[in-house]
């Protein structure tokens, strides 16, 4: 075996080790990213499993629909992400006001903590008859109530 053969084998060995290290780094980054994504998805799923809301009261008078919704879950929710649907039509935020009931807002101001009641006022015109209201919070947690005028 000559010097040129040893040099060639050494170069091939170094190239092989470098390629293996580069591939292992790529695989490590891919696995790390996937692992982080799975952990984040797990946190979101856990939060959703602990979230729940219940419409406790709905009444309509002179163009004002008042909805009282209790956070019956174990997770604090943001009222800013609450959507309201009346008869399966989304009500624009400009026609909706939301506020945590002052007598139940004990912990985090402007956040909807467990067991607190969110007061929702919707400016809308409804005809007499039976109507359906749906309130949807973060992550798709929702409740539906049917009421009559």
pLDDT in tens, 26-56: 878 788 777 777 777 767 666 667 789 999 9
pLDDT score recorded for residue 82: 93
CA distances (Å), origin 1, targets 5, 8, 36: 6, 11, 50
Whether the pLDDT of residue 11 is over 90: the answer is: no
Residue 73 has pLDDT above 80, yes or no: yes
Q: What is the pLDDT of residue 24?
A: 84
**Cα dist. 143→20, 57, 65 in Å?**
54, 12, 16
15 token code pair? 């190239």
% the chain with pLDDT above 90: 42
Spell out the domain ranges in the chain: 1-49, 53-148
DSSP state of 148: E
SS3 at position 20 = helix
Average pLDDT for residues 93-103, to the nearest whole number? 85
| Tens-place pLDDT, residues 108-136 | 788 888 999 999 999 989 999 999 999 99
Give the whole-angstrom CA distance, residue 75 versus residue 86: 25
Q: Taking the model in full, what pTM does it have?
A: 0.69
Task: Assign domain 53-148 to a CATH class.
Answer: mainly beta
């Amino acid at each position: 075996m000559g010097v040129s053969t040893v040099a060639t084998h050494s170069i091939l060995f170094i190239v092989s080790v470098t390629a293996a290290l580069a591939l292992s780094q790529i695989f490590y980054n891919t696995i790390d990213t996937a692992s982080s994504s799975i952990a984040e998805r797990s946190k979101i799923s856990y939060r959703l499993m602990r979230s729940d809301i219940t419409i406790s009261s709905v009444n309509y008078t002179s163009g004002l629909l008042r909805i009282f919704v209790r956070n019956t879950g174990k997770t604090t929710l943001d009222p800013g992400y609450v959507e309201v649907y009346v008869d399966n039509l989304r009500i624009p935020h400009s026609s909706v006001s939301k506020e945590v009931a002052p007598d139940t807002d004990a912990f985090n101001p402007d956040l909807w903590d467990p067991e607190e009641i969110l007061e929702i006022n919707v400016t809308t015109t409804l005809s007499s008859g039976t109507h359906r209201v749906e309130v949807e919070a973060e992550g798709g947690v929702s409740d539906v109530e049917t009421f009559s005028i």
